[in-house]
Structure 1
């Protein structure tokens, strides 16, 4: 489980295709301090398993196995060498939950529709797939490329958020341009409520 509070922005140094799967290699500094084999790390909001690493402190390259399902349902498969990615280690049981409950299970992808700068923040709209629209509510939570955000507006095929300077600085969202694809994970509580209502109504 994750919280959507990004610890570090890493850099892709390799994406090796192996049939219907791949090995993603990312350069990281902060999150490499306590690596263990099999650890879970969210890469742009996708929960991936550490399968190896090498390099001295400050230059660690981490390898992750990526399944075909992940390549098909997220934007991980379209990453290129040099791309920046949001990184977060799994939350500790004794840590504060500063964001919201994020599973690292991407529900779909969207695109940046528009950016409107403000005096101290920026309003950003994202395209919202029709099948996810019912899970997104104003003032509710959503993870965009692994970043925990509060929804400020919802339309039939879009949602909007406000990005504070710290989010613009400390995550990849500060550099996303209109047309750029992003991973989306809706609030897990909304999914369970929807599933419960379907069960009751049937």
Structure 2
């Protein structure tokens, strides 16, 4: 479990692709440099990389290694990472931590595309495309996770939403240099999905109270 508060910008230092019997990429091993997140993690711990929960398989100084399966590569932007790429990193939250962002599982629901950046006084508005299958879970002034960053939806229409990024977010996360056309990982508020699931069963069973 995470909160969407990025600990640091890490750097991809090695990408190793593993092919299946047919020659297609079945998994990718990432080695990432992250001095802050590696200061107190060990084999088997969880680290969110651009909002994707990955399991640490090895720690070597300030670097850690994690495996990314084919399904994750297909539903996130991790398959586009190359050596030198910067990524948002967050360690799993402790039960006693402050919940400064919102409840984030690290289970990416899909990707959106940066459509527009509009610098303003004190903040930058970024508009991002919203896949149709996720639109019902996103509400104005609600929470959404973009590349692992907990953000508040400022504006919303049927096909996109806008978030306002303060200078700290611009400086300390990948959203500071994301350009129109870039893919970003999206995770909607899990509470909305639970409510939908519960309501669908209630209505289906004819429960009215």
Which TM class, normalised by the smaller chain length?
A: over 0.9
Q: CA deviation at 1:201?
A: 2.4
1:85 aligns with: 87
Aligned partner of residue 42 in structure 1, secondary structure: strand
Match of 1:201 among 177, 200, 203: 203
Distance in 2 of aligned mates of 1:182 and 1:107: 11
Q: Give the unaligned 5+ runs of structure 2.
A: 20-25, 205-209
| Number of matched pairs | 198
1:61 CA displacement = 1.7
Equivalent residue runs for 1:110-129 within 5 Å: 110-129=112-131
Number of the residue aligned with 2:102: 100
Partner Cα separation in structure 2 for residue 31 and residue 53 of structure 1: 10
Alignment match, 1:7: 7
Cα distance in structure 2, aligned partners of 1:124 and 1:196? 33
Task: Tell me the TM-score normalised to structure 1 length.
Answer: 0.96
Q: Which of the pair has more CA radius of gyration?
A: 2
CA-CA distance at 1:199 after TM superposition: 1.5
- Normalising to structure 2: TM-score of the pair? 0.93
Q: Distance in 2 between matches of 1:54 and 1:94?
A: 28
Residue 155 of structure 1 is aligned with which of 140, 154, 157?
A: 157
Q: Distance in 2 between matches of 1:156 and 1:35?
A: 41
Q: Equivalent residue of 2:47, what SS?
A: strand
C-alpha deviation, 1:200, in angstroms: 1.9
**Deviation, structure 1 residue 22:** 1.3
* SS of 1:2 mapped into structure 2: coil
1:73-130 CA distance string (max 9 Å, x none): 1110111111100000000111100000000000000000001111110111000000
Give the 3-state SS of the residue equivalent to 2:57 in structure 1: strand
1:38-67 deviation line (CA, Å, top 9, x unaligned): 000000000000000213xxxx22100111
Could you tell me which residue of structure 2 aligns to residue 37 of structure 1?
Answer: 43
Which structure 1 residue ranges, 5 or more long, are not aligned?
A: none
Taking the aligned partners of 1:161 and 1:196, their CA distance within structure 2 comes to 29
Q: For residues 180-191 of structure 1, what are the structure 2 equivalents within 5 Å?
A: 180-191=182-193
Other-structure match for 2:58: 52
For the pair 1:22 / 2:28, whether they are aligned, the reply is yes
SS of the residue corresponding to residue 98 of structure 1 reads coil
